[in-house]
Amino acid sequence: MNKLLLSISFDFDFLPLFIVATVAWLVPMLLNLFKLKKVPAVIVEIILGYFVGVYFLGSPDQESYHILEFLALSGFIFLMFLSGLEIDVDQIIASFPRKRITVARFLKNPLLVGLSSFIITLILSYLGALSLSSFASINSRWYFALIMVTTSVGIILPILKNRGEVNSRFGQMLIIAAAIADIISIILFTFTAFILKHGFKWKILLIIALFAAFFIFYEIGKRLHKFPLYKRVSFQLSHAASQISVRGTMLLILIFVVLSHYIGEEVILLGAFLSGLLLSNFLHKERSLLMVKLDGMGFGFFIPIFFIMVGAKFEPEAFHEFDSSLIYFLIFLLITLFAVKVIPSLLWARLFGVRKAISGGFLMSSRLSLIIAAAAIGQDLGVITAGQNASFVLMAVLTCFLSPIIFNQLNPPDILEGDKTIIVGGSSTGVLLARRLHIHGKTSIIVEMNEARCKEIKANGLNSIRGDGLNPDIYQKIKLKPENYVVVDTASDERNYKICELLRKDIGHERIISRAAHLSLDRAMKRLEVETVDAVKVIATTIENLIIRPTTYHTLVETFENFSVEEIQIRNKDVDGLQVKEVPFQNNAILMMVKRGNESYIPHGETFFRVGDIVHIFGTDSALEDARRKLLG
């Protein structure tokens, strides 16, 4: 054992890796410290990476530099895998048209509009490449156009999540359009790069074989998930030191990467993406937990190294090839990158208005990893010059920075519109509630009298308005609607009661929840028909659960970010009269209870649904969204 340990060589320069890891750790810390949360971390990583490459990393011939290159490649593969994992295949399939296509149905269908938008973008990109060839020599205009077609789901999705628009029709249109752009552009890019390198040979059929492998593994996966022994063993090992789910994920990635590498280096991009797309179909209940682990591996280590090394390899001197045309080329390239996404976005104008549609086009213009990878591979193939490659890296930084800003300027988030929860009182309980609602994609507004506390809440990224809960004008200001819940939780029981009384008697609002610290207050609130929370009972119930059912309690509390319970009232007439077994709910949705009138019962496969039934469902966000579509219509 000692001999084996001593045979390991420690003669390695860890300093470059230490510097890169330091930058990766510092970037989010500094962005948070200087309250620059809206600036994408990858932009700062690329910029700082350039200075790290110039002053700290030394010669590219060093062994430590090659190790960093390998880790950067691993980060890029991980990034492509996670890009595939982000795509909800069920969502795309659900958008397939099932009725005769009319103009109105076409414009409302995310899949059809997304495909049309991509085709228009592709045509405009090729025309843009033709125009740009007057400023610089472009060896392959088609390849150049494919680079401009790319977009970034990794930028679009977090922005829509932060605005609470992921589940809105507008958000769904953008997400599906971005997913389609990712999928088709990666496929076109792979075939194009392969033909440019090897010519149009029979070997191109091996790429199609990669898709065949995708469907084979999909079928194997479906059968494994139904195999009791596999389910039992994988569950037992997933939380142990073996972390079998993470190991299996890494194995899946490497299977596709190795298969792709045998076909050609330029196919690795597609292989990594397909492995993520494949896994996205099988995560189900484990999805959120495994996503946390994979995000930790990827964004915690590998992916920052990729972006820092992109900056380290950036060569500003490559711009010298343009001579006096550099400024014109860069300006026209930036305009083209925006135009090819903004013009097709006008397809959404009839649904959302011109301004909002154009804002979506600008958000779709954000580009990140794919444009960088496509340009780098293009340079290796000899169809992209070093100066053009550097230009695309610069454009990735600019579009990632400018697109979200322009999107928010053209389409400012209106927290006062739509479904929202009003929290009167900026107590620690109210702030925690707002955070938990945000995790579930729900908007909340905290009404707080104290100016300093109001600013503090805003500084922590929550919506807060300064106002007095006893002033009726504040509820007009925040556009209180009958469907909005109002949670009253100030520091005073007497004040809580007066606010509830104002809301109930003067304003006529019905959906009110407040705290009742003692029995007399609880009775007074009940007379106002206000829902109350008895803090003493809640604490007692919590302690009871910790004693009687500790595992269940911890599971529910610790996974509230991943799973939740929702009440959905059936409005879809197509569901009326169907049995539970006839409605294809997702596997990660559990029907807990059905309430019909004053009766409640546990549903089974033979249970019939009726319009007006209230169904209690436990599951992940995607499963609950699927259930809403089926039950609400």
Asked whether residue 193 carries a pLDDT value surpassing 50, the answer given is yes
Tokens matching residue 539:
């604490």
Specify whether 102 is located in the same domain as 131. Answer: yes
Specify whether 575 is located in the same domain as 504. Answer: no
Residue 122: inside a domain, yes or no? yes
The CATH number assigned to the domain holding 249 equals 1.20.1530.20
Residue 548: inside a domain, yes or no? no
Model confidence band, residue 562 (pLDDT cutoffs 50, 70, 90): low
Specify whether 51 is located in the same domain as 102. Answer: yes
> What is the arrangement of strands in the sheet containing 564-569, beginning at the earlier edge strand?
564-569, 614-619, 589-596, 599-601
**Rounded to a whole number, what is the distance in angstroms from the first to the last CA of the chain?**
66
CA distance 323 to 530: 73
pLDDT, residue 464, reads: 87
Asked whether residue 278 carries a pLDDT value surpassing 80, the answer given is yes
The CATH number assigned to the domain holding 465 equals 3.40.50.720
Specify whether 514 is located in the same domain as 534. Answer: yes
Listed range (39-48, 256-265, 603-612) with the worst mean pLDDT: 603-612
Helix (H) or strand (E) holding 591: strand 589-596
Listed range (223-237, 431-445, 494-508) with the worst mean pLDDT: 223-237
Residue 3: inside a domain, yes or no? no
Q: What is the mean pLDDT of residues 243-270?
A: 88
Residue 549: inside a domain, yes or no? no
The CATH number assigned to the domain holding 583 equals 3.30.70.1450
Specify whether 600 is located in the same domain as 460. Answer: no
pLDDT, residue 419, reads: 75
**Owner of token pair 């999705």:** 157
Residue 415: inside a domain, yes or no? no
Specify whether 455 is located in the same domain as 370. Answer: no
**Owner of token pair 């790290």:** 52
Specify whether 317 is located in the same domain as 435. Answer: no
pLDDT, residue 137, reads: 87
Q: Is 5 left (phi over 0), alpha (psi -120 to 50) or beta?
A: alpha
Tokens matching residue 518:
């003692």
> What is the DSSP code (8-state) at residue 478?
T
Specify whether 406 is located in the same domain as 441. Answer: no
Specify whether 401 is located in the same domain as 424. Answer: no
Q: Is 139 exposed, middle or buried (0-12, 13-18, 19+ CB in 10 A)?
A: middle
Specify whether 375 is located in the same domain as 462. Answer: no
Residue 97 domain boundaries? 11-57+64-410
pLDDT, residue 87, reads: 79
pLDDT in tens, 384-424: 999 999 999 999 989 988 998 899 889 887 666 667 889 99
pLDDT, residue 129, reads: 94
Specify whether 333 is located in the same domain as 382. Answer: yes
- Helix locations, 384-534, DSSP H: 386-410, 428-439, 451-459, 472-477, 493-501, 519-527
Asked whether residue 457 carries a pLDDT value surpassing 90, the answer given is no
CA distance 355 to 349: 8
Asked whether residue 626 carries a pLDDT value surpassing 90, the answer given is no
Tokens matching residue 76:
């890029």
Residue 97, helix vs strand vs coil: coil
CA distance 266 to 80: 13
Domain count, the chain: 3
Q: Are strands 443-448 and 485-488 parallel, antiparallel or unpaired?
A: unpaired
- Final residue of a structural domain among 373, 392, 410: 410
Q: What is the mean pLDDT of residues 280-305?
A: 75
Residue 190: inside a domain, yes or no? yes
- What distance lies between CA 286 and its chain's CA centroid? 17
**Owner of token pair 């990794």:** 154
Rg (alpha carbons) of the chain, rounded to whole number: 27
Q: What is the mean pLDDT of residues 194-203?
A: 84
Listed range (296-310, 503-517, 551-565) with the worst mean pLDDT: 551-565
Tokens matching residue 274:
């397909």
Specify whether 300 is located in the same domain as 439. Answer: no
- Final residue of a structural domain among 348, 375, 410: 410
pLDDT, residue 553, reads: 65
- Final residue of a structural domain among 390, 410, 430: 410
